[in-house]
Structure 1
């Protein structure tokens, strides 16, 4: 799953609504925790991917991308 699935979000929202209404079962509570963990993992993965694709350029057109970011890009290319 490279992107956050719309079905995942829909199910999280259904469970959140049930929790708000006070009708969430213990099994659904466990499912909700698991789905939220998946969501957070995928969100972080996508966010990291966005950050590593950024190139920072100063007004003169020089690449001033931080070394740490350049190293992370190289690391991802090798993976």
Structure 2
């Protein structure tokens, strides 16, 4: 997860962009911070999905094979 300071900075830059006062240097910083945020989000989401186990009402494991493979590959690396 991104630090509170970085999240605050993303929001601050977003407000400046909406106001039309964003400088070129700040636009580059905003792009970099957004990329970092998305990378962190995707990584967290991937980890969450790889650790999900789907059970049907009868108690059978119906986790998609793709998720099982991703989990297996993660532990092998």
**Where does structure 1 differ by over 4 angstroms across 4 or more consecutive aligned residues?**
none
Once the two structures are TM-superposed, the CA of residue 64 in structure 1 deviates from its matched residue by 0.9
Distance 1:39 1:78 in 2: 27
CA shift for structure 1 position 21: 1.2
In 2, Cα distance between equivalents of 1:14 and 1:58:
45
Work out the number of aligned pairs and report it.
77
Q: The residue matched to 2:62 in structure 1 has which SS?
A: coil
Q: Please, what TM-score do these two structures have when normalized by structure 1? A: 0.91
Structure 2 unaligned regions, length at least 5: none
Structure 2 partner of 1:19: 17
Give structure 1 stretches of 5+ with no counterpart: none
Shift of residue 26, structure 1, vs aligned partner:
0.4
2:44 alignment partner in structure 1: 46
* TM-score, scaled relative to structure 2: 0.93
Equivalent positions of 1:1-79 (< 5 A) are 3-79=1-77
Shift of 1:78: 2.0
Taking only aligned residues, the RMSD between alpha carbons, in angstroms, comes to 0.9
